[in-house]
Each structure stands twice: as C-alpha cells, then as structure tokens.
Amino acid sequence: MNDNNIQKSTSSIRDTLNFQLQISWQILDIHLTGLTDDEYHWRPAAKGLHVSNESGVWRADWPESEAYDIGPANIAWLTWHITFWWSMALDYSFGDGTLSREEVSCPGNIKDTKETIIRLRDKWEAAVAELPDDELLSSERTRWPFIDKPFHEFAGWLNLELMKNAAEIGYCRFLYASQKK
C-alpha cells in the first residue's frame, strides 16, 4: 500500500471513529439532560452496582463477575464507569499508565459528573486528533485493557462502551420514571 492509500485509509478510519463518537455522545447527552441528583443516585434494585460515600469520597462498587444476578447498576455507577474507562484510556494511551481503578472516584452529583465526562471527552478527542496516522494503525499506544490491538480498534471499543453506557442510563431513566408515577 502506498502512502496515498494509507492516508486515505486512516482518514476513513478517523471519520468512522468520529462519527461513532458523535452519535454515542448525542445519545448520552439526551439521557443526561434534565437528570436530577435524586435520579442519579436512585437504585433500581437493592442489589446492584452503586456508588457510596466513604468519608466524603464517592466510591464505586466493583463487580466480582458480570453475571446477571449481581443486579442492575444505577446512573451514578454508570456515569462513574464512563469516567473510569476514559480516565484509564487517557492515562495508559497518552500518560504514564499508572492510574488504578481505586484512584477514579465518582463526583457524587450529576453537575460535576457531566463536567468531568465532558472534560474527558474533550481530552480524548484532542489526543486522538493529534495522533499521527502510523500510531493510529499501530498497537504502540494500546496498553489497557487490551494489548497488541491497533489503536483504532481500541478507540472503536471506547465508542462502543460509551454507546452501551448511554443505553443503560436511558433504560435506568425509564425505570425511574415508571416507578415514580
């Protein structure tokens, strides 16, 4: 493949990744618009993935498995999950790769959570936009949670994670609205 074909290929990959991110972001934005702190902290079931305040720091539960019987996550946990994987992706792909799950706390309210997610999205978009084509195609920067995958596949996975979490937040909002009527 010559340089011109590589450039066309990476341009197409970037366009696709940007399109996926924008669509996923729009769905997340729809589901976060109008969200209150009560709804953000509401638990759809007593058992499930939630966040709790430990001495003034909001910490997220960590599942020991992904079995259905662990129960559904609440919106606070789902938005923490977005901040978790974007923080980890940025640190391992563009930082020193030392961040741990325990270091990613939950802001504890929807206003600060939205600001955190927007800040992370902006950092991610800028970092990927500045990435040279050869690094987009290589596995050099793919260090968490995958290795030996081309970076563009990793970026596609992050877009899927965002879409998945956005859908879960939307579903939780439907449950909340139907329970509160």
The pLDDT confidence band at residue 5, using thresholds 50, 70 and 90, is low
Number of neighbours of residue 33 by Cβ within 10 angstroms: 8
Instruction: Tell me the C-alpha distance between 126 and 108, whole Å.
Output: 26
Model confidence pLDDT, tens digit, residues 129-174: 999 999 999 999 999 999 999 999 999 999 999 999 999 999 999 9
Element (H, E) at 106: none
> Domains, the chain, ranges and CATH?
15-62+69-180 (1.20.120)
Model confidence pLDDT, tens digit, residues 86-138: 999 999 999 999 999 999 999 999 999 999 999 999 999 999 999 999 999 99
User: Are 148 and 139 within 8 A, CB to CB?
Assistant: yes
SS3 content of the chain, % helix, strand, coil (to 5): 65, 5, 30
Q: Which residues contact 128 (CB under 8 A, 6 or more apart)?
A: 14, 17, 136, 155
Number of neighbours of residue 122 by Cβ within 10 angstroms: 10
What's the average model confidence in pLDDT over 75-94? 98
More confident residue, 1 or 169: 169
Structure tokens at 24: 């996923």
What's the average model confidence in pLDDT over 20-44? 97
pTM beyond cutoff 0.85: yes
